[in-house]
Amino acid sequence: MVYRWLALAVIALHFGYLAYLVAGGYLAWRWPRTFALHMVAVTWGVLIIVTEVTCPMTWLQNTLRTRGGEPELTMSFVDTYLRGVLFPADHEVAARVLVALVVSLSWLGFASRSAHAAARVAAPAAERQRA
């Protein structure tokens, strides 16, 4: 029973990671120090898509499911829980492009906000030097 609950916790963690993958760039607008963490999350997501690397959360979920007397997932986490639910099964490429667009826009917004913040900090310093 404990292993089943732990497997459910890993599922929740996996959903949290995916939510952060999509929205983390926007969170960095408010908390800029989190941007590096979001870059790592995005890099990992891209690595999972373009290579044969097994996601450690999927591996952990499968291990816990097995110990809890349940079968392992036969497909990836996304294929098991998201495909056909959050997006049509035959539109995976479009879903990936949409996520990439959302992340790219968040990063562009972060860069713009960071540039404006740096300019606001630099302006008073420049004025003090002229005085």
pLDDT at residue 3, rounded to an integer: 94
Task: Write the pLDDT tens digit of every residue in 51-73.
Answer: 988 899 999 999 999 999 999 99
Least confident of 36-45, 86-95, 116-125: 116-125
Task: Write the pLDDT tens digit of every residue in 77-98.
Answer: 988 999 999 899 999 999 999 9
Is 11:65 a contact under the CB 8 Å cutoff?
no
Least confident of 13-17, 38-42, 99-103, 119-123: 119-123
Tokens for 121, please give them: 């900090």
29-45: average pLDDT: 96
Please tell me the distance from the alpha carbon of residue 80 to that of residue 85, in angstroms, as a whole number.
Answer: 9
Please tell me the distance from the alpha carbon of residue 53 to that of residue 2, in angstroms, as a whole number.
Answer: 28
Residues contacting residue 1 through CB under 8 Å, at least 6 positions apart:
68
What are the backbone angles phi and psi of residue 83, rounded to the nearest 5°?
-65, 130
Q: State yes or no: pLDDT of 5 exceeds 90.
A: yes
Tokens for 3, please give them: 């292993």
Tokens for 130, please give them: 């002229």
Tokens for 33, please give them: 């120090």
Mean of pLDDT over the chain: 92
| Alpha carbon distances (Å) from 62 to 5, 12, 57, 73, 86 | 13, 14, 9, 6, 22
